[in-house]
Amino acid sequence: MSLNREQIVFLQHVAELIRKAPDYGLLVTAGELYRTSEQQALHVQYGRSKTMNSQHLKRLAVDLNFFQQLPDGSLQLTYDGDNVRLLGAFWESLDPAANRWGGNWSSFKDTPHFERRENSRTAEAGVPHPASAISSSGARPPAPAAGSFCGAKLLAGTVGVRCQNQPYDVESIQRLLNLHRDRIGLADPLSCDGKFGQHTLTALSDFQQTVLAQPEPSGTVSPGDSTLLALCAALPKSLDPILMAFVYLNASEPDIRSLTPFLLETMAKYDINTPVRQAHFLAQVGHESGELLYKKELASGTAYENRRDLGNTQPGDGPHYKGRGLIQLTGRANYADYSRTGSLKVDVEADPEQVATNEQLCVDVAGWFWDRRGLNTFADRDDLETVTRRINGGLNGLDNRRRLLSRAKTLLGA
């Protein structure tokens, strides 16, 4: 990529950085962009820099001043803190191969400094056209909420040597590293087993050294840090089987591949069409189905015999109309109702077993149930307990539903 194109990308990223700063409670004023060679020599002479090879000389670095507004309305200059570190992580996530934040340097910390390294692996085809960030109406899209970029809150704890290494966290890192196989020269994909061993440590250290240019890789990754955000930069930007596998870590690959298209179809059909609605729907489906494992109730269904509230009025109705589907359709009355009103126009009252064996039906009944109970309204309010009560009748499995919801929300940017 030519220097001019590098400068174009750099300034576009600086614009995104400045727009992002208020999400972290920061106000920005300009510092230094361009620096002459004479000025750089003075920086070296007085110990403010250690090299004459500064990105400022190429207009590929900028120093910014950050302020926080105090309760009395005055502004306080800040050089460190969680909000500045989050902004530094955001900068590096915009292009993990090229963008560097001075707060992550090992030799000395320069938190106001943001730079781009030229000749990175960023493809020239990826340079956005200057108008690409503007909609047809002329308005820029709203900045995402703090931490809303995909994966920012994917981990519950730190992963690495002598760290917490919770299995779900380790498996998430293993899957993320596999998305970067080509960049770090990983010959074979890591086994996503949730166990932090030498292969995972080596791959993580190689990523930090190769992609983040850390001369001495820490071999650890923590919630919201620059390593996690750089790893998450490879996540798909929309729901597909890869992203669905991150939502449902316990699901089998065949189930992910075969059911994802029907999940996408169902969500579109029933207006489950915002990240927060999708996150709630996937969390409930995930819990109710054991993360896509169970398509019908394990129990025999005899407990539903003679349950007139379910329409089970004939001998054998209990087992015959036991729960099936990713959110289970239960009872003769509900099977009959779906047969009459379901969009697929299939008579599942006559043949209830097909709800478990036909994957499209298996997913669609979950969307139909969601729609009939008006659950989009409560998902919009982010009301997990009410959504759960309207599906389960109580709050059974609430902790697991909350875990799945948290994963889905951070992966979808909700």
- Ranking 49-58, 127-136, 390-399 by mean pLDDT, the lowest is 127-136
Mean of pLDDT values over 247-262: 96
Summarised one tens digit per residue, pLDDT across range 113-163 is 999 988 755 434 344 433 333 333 333 333 333 334 567 789 999 999 999
CB atoms within 10 A of CB 90: 26
Residue 349 has pLDDT above 80, yes or no: yes
Summarised one tens digit per residue, pLDDT across range 202-233 is 999 999 998 888 888 999 999 988 899 889 98
CATH fold of 241-412 reads: Lysozyme (1.10.530)
pLDDT class of 110 with cuts at 50, 70, 90: confident
Query: What is the SS3 assignment for 131?
Result: helix
CA 326/CA 273 separation, integer angstroms: 19
Tokens of 93: 């996530």
For the chain, the domains span 3-118, 159-232, 241-412
* Integer CA distances (angstroms), 288 to 139, 229, 285, 291, 412, in order: 41, 31, 5, 8, 20
- Ranking 43-52, 330-339, 363-372 by mean pLDDT, the lowest is 43-52
CA 82/CA 86 separation, integer angstroms: 6
- Specify the pLDDT at position 346: 96
Give the burial class of 152: count Cβ atoms within 10 A of its Cβ; 0-12 exposed, 13-18 middle, 19 or more buried.
buried
Which residue would you say has higher pLDDT here, 167 or 87?
A: 167
| Backbone torsion region of residue 147, taken as left when φ is above 0, otherwise alpha when ψ lies between -120 and 50, otherwise beta | left
pLDDT class of 89 with cuts at 50, 70, 90: confident
CA 85/CA 91 separation, integer angstroms: 10
pLDDT class of 107 with cuts at 50, 70, 90: low
Summarised one tens digit per residue, pLDDT across range 298-312 is 999 999 999 999 999
CATH fold of 3-118 reads: Muramoyl-pentapeptide Carboxypeptidase; domain 2 (3.30.1380)
State the residue for tokens 């994966």: 151
Tokens of 25: 């409670």
- Specify the pLDDT at position 135: 35
* Mean pLDDT, the chain, whole residue set: 87
- Specify the pLDDT at position 73: 85
State the residue for tokens 């020239």: 124
The percentage of residues in the chain with a pLDDT greater than 90, rounded to a whole number, is: 61
Residues 6 or more apart in contact with residue 186 via CB below 8 angstroms: 177, 178, 180, 203, 206
CA 361/CA 344 separation, integer angstroms: 8
Query: What is the SS3 assignment for 325?
Result: coil
Residue 22 has pLDDT above 60, yes or no: yes
- Specify the pLDDT at position 104: 79
* Integer CA distances (angstroms), 26 to 18, 64, 143, 238, in order: 9, 11, 14, 29
Nearest-Å Rg of the Cα atoms of the chain is 26
Mean of pLDDT values over 196-204: 96
What's the DSSP call for residue 329? Answer: B
- Specify the pLDDT at position 120: 59
- Specify the pLDDT at position 409: 95
- Ranking 38-52, 204-218, 276-290, 400-414 by mean pLDDT, the lowest is 38-52
- Specify the pLDDT at position 142: 34
- Specify the pLDDT at position 106: 67
CB atoms within 10 A of CB 313: 11
Mean of pLDDT values over 365-379: 97
Mean of pLDDT values over 33-56: 78
What is this structure's pTM?
A: 0.69
- Specify the pLDDT at position 132: 35
Which residue would you say has higher pLDDT here, 138 or 164?
A: 164
The residue length of the chain stands at 414
